[in-house]
Amino acid sequence: MGALIGEYECKLDEKGRLMVPSGLKKQLPAKEQKKFVVNRGFEKQLNMYPQKEWEKISSQINELNLFVKQNREFVRKFNNGATEVEVDGSGRILLPKTLMQYAGIDKEAILFAHSNRIEIWSKAEYDKFMKEGADDFAALAEQVMGNIPNKGKADVS
């Protein structure tokens, strides 16, 4: 699977179902358009992974020895609500209510795809997050990327 990309604004219908934009589906191989795994993200947002991507991650996690306390803690926090979701015949997904509440999603959501995941935000939280520290983006970029040697890297400034 290539890296995902795109930002999509979606409305939930009255039953809380979320349409997966066709533009996003097209980026995924046919076999990976049906099943996803959603869990809580670090910010007030959810992360959704195509099932295969999730399996790559979790197969390693599941090999940890659970008699070790630290491993138990890690496994639990790593999963953090991870739940399988499936798109219905009309290309919609129904997210568990507990996760919707966590992310504060009501009517409007933003799907923000990058690398191997799709982040799901409430529109309000997304705008807030992107607004905060918007001024300092240049400074942040320097902090994060400034020390990486510039081998054939594309200039994105």
Q: Which residues bind a copy of itself (CB under 8 A)?
A: 3, 5-7, 9, 23, 37, 42-43, 53, 56-62, 64, 66, 69-84, 96, 98, 112, 114-116, 119, 129-130, 133-134, 137, 140-141, 143-145, 148, 152-156
Q: How far is the CB of 145 from DNA (least distance, A)?
A: 32
Pairing of strands 83-86, 46-50: unpaired
By CB under 7 A, name the one of 91, 116, 123, 125 that touches DNA.
91
- Composition of the chain by helix, strand, coil, percent to 5: 35, 30, 35
Selection from a copy of itself, DNA, none that 36 binds (CB < 5 to 8 A by kind) is none
Regarding 70 and contact with DNA (CB under 7 A), the answer is no
**Residue 14: CA count within 13 A, CB half-sphere:** 0
Query: Is the Cα torsion angle 95, 100, 103, 105 positive or negative in sign?
Result: positive
Kindly report the number of other CB atoms within 10 A of residue 94's CB atom: 15
- Give the nearer residue to a copy of itself in terms of CB position, either 90 or 147: 147
- Give the nearer residue to a copy of itself in terms of CB position, either 3 or 30: 3
Q: How far apart are CA 51 and CA 108, in angstroms?
A: 24
- Give the nearer residue to a copy of itself in terms of CB position, either 6 or 91: 6
Selection from a copy of itself, DNA, none that 66 binds (CB < 5 to 8 A by kind) is a copy of itself
Site string (108-127) toward DNA, x via CB under 7 A:
--------------------
> In sequence order, what DSSP letters do the residues of 45-67 get, joined into one string?
SEEEEEHHHHHHHHHHHTTS-TT
